[in-house]
Structures are given as structure tokens and as C-alpha cells.
Structure 1
């Protein structure tokens, strides 16, 4: 699977990062990966940090920053 590229969000919130990851996977047509990503996030329950979500999301999406 070629991972879709996504700009790392300026807003440092887990929910924002989750939403961007899901949107990029859907745009790329990777619905099976969306389900895997969601399940991995759910397994963290509600006790997750931005950094933990970023580690999970990086397995599915290539993030970049504009500098």
C-alpha cells in the first residue's frame, strides 16, 4: 500500500489528527485501512495523547510539514 501524504495539522489535537488521517485514507480509497486505523485508536480507549495517535497514524499516512 502506498501511504497517502498529509500535511501535519497546525492544531495539536488528537481528534483533528484522527479526522485528517481518516479523510486522507478515504480519499485514497483505502476503506479497509480506515477500519484498521479506527480499531487501533479505539483500542487506546479514551486515554490517548496526540503523540500516541501520531505514532498510529504514521503507519497509515505520510505526514509532512511546510517550512
Structure 2
């Protein structure tokens, strides 16, 4: 579990780069995402969770 906090810190850094470097484009991106159907967002979220879980499994092994 020693990897959890550094991993969360890296996620925060990566997620913060968009609003920090290109705030206007980031705002337009969020507006576009917010207009997508709920099922489409769930599919994207599920795919990202699966990809992240598989990646983590291979990186830890």
C-alpha cells in the first residue's frame, strides 16, 4: 500500500495540467463532455477503469 499515495499524487498532477496550462480549451472540453449522453460517459468511464486495472496489474507484476 506504499504506492497508493504517490499514485494519487501523480493523478492530481496530471489532472491539474489541463486547467493550469490551457484553461479556456479545458472549459470548452468540459462543456462538450457535459453534453454527452449518460450511457456514453459510463462506457468511457468503464473502459478507463478496465484499462487502468489491467495496466496496474501488469506494472505491479
TM-score (norm 2): 0.37
Higher relative contact order by CA 8 Å / sep ≥ 6: 1 or 2? Answer: 1
**Looking at CA atoms only, which structure, 1 or 2, has the larger radius of gyration?**
2
Which structure's residues are more often strand, by fraction? Answer: 1
Higher helix share: 2
TM-score computed with the length of structure 1 as normaliser: 0.35
